[in-house]
Amino acid sequence: MQEDIKLWPFKVVKGSADTPKVVVTYKGRKEFLAKEISSMILGKMKEIAEMYLGKVVKDAVITVPSYFNDTQRQATKDAGTIAGLNVIRMINEPTAAAITYGLDNKSDIVVLVFDLGGGTFDVSLMTIEEGGVFEVKAVAGDTHLGGGDFDNHMVDYCAREFKRRWNKDLTGNQRALGRLRFACEKAKRILSCATQTSIDLDFLHRAKFEELNMDSFNKCIETLETCFSDAKMKKSCVDQVVLVGGSTRIPKVQHMLQEYFDGKELCKSVNPDEAVAYGAAVMAAKVSGRNDKSVQDVVLHDVTPLSLGIEVKGDIFNVVIPRNTPIPTSNAKQYCTIYDNQSNIIFKVFQGERLRSTDNHLLGKFTISGIPRAPKGVAKVMVFFELDDNGVLRVTASILSTGKVEKITITNGIRRLSKEKIEKMVHDAKKYKLEDQEFKKKAEAHNALEDCIYDMKNKIEGHNIQNSMRHEILQVTRKAVDKTSKWLKDNQAAPFPVLHSKKVHLEFVSKSLS
C-alpha cells in the first residue's frame, strides 16, 4: 500500500486500528474507509438497476475475488448493507464466470478460469458435470495484482523519464499524477490491439509495456502452478481455459498462457467484462427461487482459499479447516489449559499456510473465561469453526465441564491482506517449508520438556507426601529438575537436539522415582 500511495492522486491517512482512510471531500466529509467508498459504488449500481427495472432493488448477490480473506468478505458484506442492500449470497468471481460458461454444458469437463481484472488476480480449477454441478478443486491468486498494477508500472516509468529529461519530480503533484495515470490506462487499452501509442512525452511500444510488467505476468504463471499443485492435477487434464477480466485482453498474457498449456486454444467466447456479472445473476435467480429448471439445477461446491486455525502453545499454527476444503463446512477441535489453575484462554484465529502463527494473517481474537481451576491439561475447551456458503467464518468456544460458550466477532478494523502477506502465505509456504518444520520441531520439543519438568515436580511432591523415598535420591532428583527448569528459562532459543537431550536426561533421572 505504501508503494501505491506514491502513485495515487489522493491522500491516504491512518485511521483507528491502523485502518487506511481515503482523504476526499464529499458532502462535508473528508475521510472515508474503503468499505464506505465500496458502498457508494454499490449504491450507484443499485440506483442504475432500479432505473432499468422500474422497481426497488433490495436483495443482491455480490461477487468477490476467490482469494479474499474473511475480513475482506465481511467488509464487502458491510459495504452492501451501508448501500441499503441485503446481501443474500457472496460468490467467488471465477466460479461465477464458470457458471456463465458451463450453464449449457452437455458433458463432463475440467475448466481452468483465469481471471485477471483491474486490481485482483484469481485462478480456479474446477469440474463441470452434465446437469449443472460445479465443483471447485482448488483456487489460487493475489488480491494485489491486476490492471491497476500495470498502470502503476507505466506511471512510474513515465515519471522517471520526465524527471530524467526535465529534472522535475511529478510524484509530489497529485493532480499531475492523476492525469498521467488516466493517460497510462488509456495507453494500456490501446496496446492490447495496437503495437504502439503515445503518452504525450513519447511513444510507448508494446514491447516496452511488456518489459515493464513481465514480473507481474510471470507471477500469474507461478500462481497457475500453485493451483495445479494444490488440486493434485496435471495441466494436461484441463479441457478448457476460460479468460475472464479486462486484463486478459493483453496479448502477452494470452501468449504466455497459451504457451503454458502447450498451444491449447483459449476460450474467448465469454465476454470477459460480463461473465462474472452474468454468473452472479444466475446464482441470484437460483437463491431467489426462480422456476427456470436450468437455473435451479445449478449446484455449486466452492472451496476456502486459505487454511484457518488457532494459535497454540509455542506460537504454532494449529489448522482447524485446511485450505481448499469444500464449503460450506465446519470442524471442531479440543484444546486444554497449559498451566495449573488457568481460568481463561485467549484464542487467536489465524488464516494462512505457515506453521508459525505470526507468519499468518490474524483474523481476530477472543477470550473464554470461567474455566474451573484444575491442574494443567485437565480442563478442556471445544472450539468450533463454521464456514458458510459465502466463505464467512464464525468461531465458537465451549467449556466442556460447564457448557459456557463464547463466540468470536471478526472485526473489520484488521488490515486488508497485502500482496506481501499473500506471497508469504502461499508462495513462501513452500520456500520456507523446511524452516517451518524445524520451527515446529523445536517448539514441540520445548513444550515436551516443559511438560516433563511439570510431571516430575508433581512426582516429587507426591513422594514427599508419602515419605516413601530415600532423602538422597529425592534431593538429587529435585536438583536436576530445578537446574533444568532454570536452564530452560534462560535458553528459550535452544535448538531441538539440546532440548531433546535435556528431556531424555530428565526421563532417565525420573526412573529412580518409579
Rounded to two decimals, what is the model's pTM?
Answer: 0.64
Q: Which CATH superfamily is domain 308-431 in?
A: Substrate Binding Domain Of DNAk; Chain A, domain 1 (2.60.34.10)
Q: What is the pLDDT of residue 411?
A: 38
Q: What is the pLDDT of residue 415?
A: 36
How many whole angstroms separate alpha carbon 312 and alpha carbon 113? 37
Average pLDDT of span 380-389: 89
How many whole angstroms separate alpha carbon 304 and alpha carbon 325? 6
How many whole angstroms separate alpha carbon 223 and alpha carbon 145? 11
Of residues 344, 305, 298, 300, the one with CA closest to residue 321: 305
CA-to-CA dists, residue 104 to 101, 128, 132, angstroms: 8, 10, 8
CB burial of residue 422 (10 Å; 0-12, 13-18, 19+): buried
Angle at 63 between CA 59 and CA 67, to 5 degrees: 145
- Domain extents in the chain: 2-148+212-303, 149-211, 308-431, 434-513
Residue 223 has pLDDT above 80, yes or no: yes
Q: What is the pLDDT of residue 17?
A: 73
The SS3 of residue 7 is: coil
Residue 422 has pLDDT above 50, yes or no: no
Q: Which CATH superfamily is domain 149-211 in?
A: ATPase, substrate binding domain, subdomain 4 (3.90.640.10)
- For the domain 434-513, what is the CATH code? 1.20.1270.10
Phi, psi of 103 (to 5 degrees): -60, -40
Buried b (16+ CB within 10 A) or exposed e, 354-376: bbbbebbbbbbbbebeebeebee
Measured between its terminal Cα atoms, the distance across the chain in Å is 61
Average pLDDT of span 408-418: 43
Residue 353 has pLDDT above 60, yes or no: yes
Question: Which of the four pLDDT bands, split at 50, 70 and 90, describes residue 410?
Answer: low
Average pLDDT of span 361-366: 85
Q: What is the pLDDT of residue 291?
A: 74
Residue 418 has pLDDT above 50, yes or no: no
Residue 417 has pLDDT above 70, yes or no: no
More confident site: 2 or 158: 158
Q: What is the pLDDT of residue 331?
A: 94
pLDDT digits (tens, 9 = 90+) for 128-183: 887 678 888 888 888 788 888 888 888 888 888 888 888 878 777 777 778 888 88
- For the domain 2-148+212-303, what is the CATH code? 3.30.420.40
> Could you give the residue ranges of the DSSP H alpha helices within 232-265?
251-260
pLDDT digits (tens, 9 = 90+) for 16-52: 877 889 998 877 788 888 888 888 899 999 999 999 9
